[in-house]
């Protein structure tokens, strides 16, 4: 089987792709969380050990060095998404970033009668925070439908958006369908009525080059563990003038200018949004992950995963009773359903064959309802995925077919 013209050969960098006996494991759940390369593991280990100290507080040299490394990580994130260092807030992940925007910008700017625009395919993390703030202030939520091939319908968005809409929040790449949003067009539609737009980039930043200024969005969020970095770290990018005007959400150490019992004044952004001791090691690990993918090249990664998606869709389309979901050019993700077979059964049988996929609603229950299924099976690829994974998926699905005899 030859599916890759110019494969990326990095499997040896990822210890998590092998079991205790050194046998290869076919990990096709990168959309949930990515395995970590040794280069990131080594940086994190050193940061937890010989380099470890707190940041922004100590006057001793190791603390100063760790502070430099932590702020260098912020610059690395800014360069990676095309923003400025002062526009990057470190958070625990995209979920916290969206909650931060909802509870800071949203609480300060949304009021009764305002409207929020989401889409049918959003992850729960880009639905629930907006529901919570809407209930608090009396705003309403509208939902953009999808095209027949599972993309956010921007023609429908343009037709339904009004000047009452103050915030639009959309996924750059669907975590279920792999469909990619024309984020620049979506931003233009939002800005035409004076609305701000937040883009959930969790599935985009590991798979494609992102430039927030070129996208013309107002907020962009992503999680580090999706891009081969540690858990517990992510980033919010926001336009500088918007971030500067946002009130703090969490209170505590570091985010202050001066505290008295009469009044507290706050540090400028982004420090104002980073209360308490930060995720020092995790931020440094995220920077190492960004260095790793940047060295490979985002365009090369996109082409690599695109070839794997095509091969997987070709194989699955030949399995009787399989329904492929999403567009043919889905971005690193292939979701499917098999008539008469629950996705959990598919996942269990594939696991017995050494293949790991995701089975369930993928934190996108409204999308499942729109698709008319309770759940889907999902294979998702990363930079370490290769032809052996496609072959293993094909063998596993043949076993599923034989067990359930869907001929």
Positions marked active-site: 363
386 three-class SS: coil
Distance CA 343, CA 366 (A): 17
CB 308 within 8 A of CB 395: no
Distance CA 240, CA 198 (A): 14
Strand ranges of the sheet holding 88-91, from the earlier edge strand across to the other edge: 88-91, 234-238, 219-223, 196-200, 165-171, 115-119, 140-144
Distance CA 94, CA 100 (A): 10
- Placement of tokens 């098999």 in the chain: 338
Distance CA 51, CA 47 (A): 5
CB 228 within 8 A of CB 294: no
Whether the link from the prior residue into 110 is cis, omega within 30° of 0, is: no
Tokens at 253, concatenated:
């150490």
Other beta carbons less than 10 A from residue 368's beta carbon: 17
Beta bridge partner(s), residue 119: 144
Distance CA 338, CA 168 (A): 34
DSSP type of residue 262: S
CB 219 within 8 A of CB 238: yes
Tokens at 335, concatenated:
């979701």
Tokens at 96, concatenated:
């916290």
Q: Which of 255, 267, 217 is nearest to 238 (CA)?
A: 217
Angle 356-358-360 (CA atoms, 0-180°, nearest 5)? 150
């Amino acid at each position: 089987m030859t599916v890759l013209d110019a494969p990326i050969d990095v499997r040896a960098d990822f210890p998590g792709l092998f079991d205790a006996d050194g046998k290869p494991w076919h990990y096709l759940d990168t959309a949930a969380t990515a395995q970590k390369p040794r280069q990131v593991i080594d940086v994190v280990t050193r940061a937890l050990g010989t380099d470890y100290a707190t940041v922004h507080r100590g006057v001793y040299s190791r603390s100063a060095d760790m502070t430099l490394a932590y702020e260098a990580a912020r610059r690395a994130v800014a360069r990676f998404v095309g923003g400025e260092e002062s526009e990057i807030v470190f958070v625990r992940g995209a979920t916290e970033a969206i909650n931060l925007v909802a509870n800071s910008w949203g609480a300060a700017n949304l009021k009764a009668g305002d409207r929020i625009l989401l889409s049918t395919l959003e992850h729960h993390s880009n639905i629930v925070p907006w529901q919570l703030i809407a209930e608090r202030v009396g705003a309403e939520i509208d939902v953009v439908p999808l095209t027949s091939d599972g993309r956010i319908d921007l023609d429908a968005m343009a037709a339904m958006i009004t000047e009452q809409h103050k915030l639009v929040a959309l996924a750059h790449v669907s975590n279920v369908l792999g469909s990619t949003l024309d984020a620049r067009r979506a931003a233009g539609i939002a800005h035409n009525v004076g609305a701000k737009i937040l883009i959930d980039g969790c599935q985009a930043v590991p798979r494609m080059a992102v430039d927030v200024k070129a996208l013309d969005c107002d907020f962009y969020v992503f999680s580090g563990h999706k891009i081969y970095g540690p858990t517990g770290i992510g980033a919010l990018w926001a336009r500088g003038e918007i971030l500067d005007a946002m009130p703090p959400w969490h209170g505590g150490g570091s985010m202050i200018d001066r505290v008295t019992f009469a009044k507290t004044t706050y540090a400028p952004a982004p420090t104002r949004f980073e209360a308490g001791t930060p995720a020092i090691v995790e931020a440094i690990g995220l920077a190492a992950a960004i260095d790793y993918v940047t060295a490979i090249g985002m365009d090369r990664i996109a082409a690599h995963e695109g070839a794997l998606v095509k091969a997987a869709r070709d194989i699955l389309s030949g399995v009787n009773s399989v329904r492929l979901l999403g567009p043919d050019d889905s971005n690193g993700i292939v979701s499917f359903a098999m008539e008469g077979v629950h996705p959990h059964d598919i996942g269990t049988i594939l696991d017995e064959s050494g293949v790991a996929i995701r089975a369930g609603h993928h934190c996108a229950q409204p999308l499942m309802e729109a698709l008319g299924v309770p759940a889907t099976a999902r294979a998702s690829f990363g930079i370490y995925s290769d032809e052996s994974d496609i072959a293993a998926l094909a063998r596993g699905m043949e076993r599923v077919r034989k067990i359930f005899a869907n001929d």
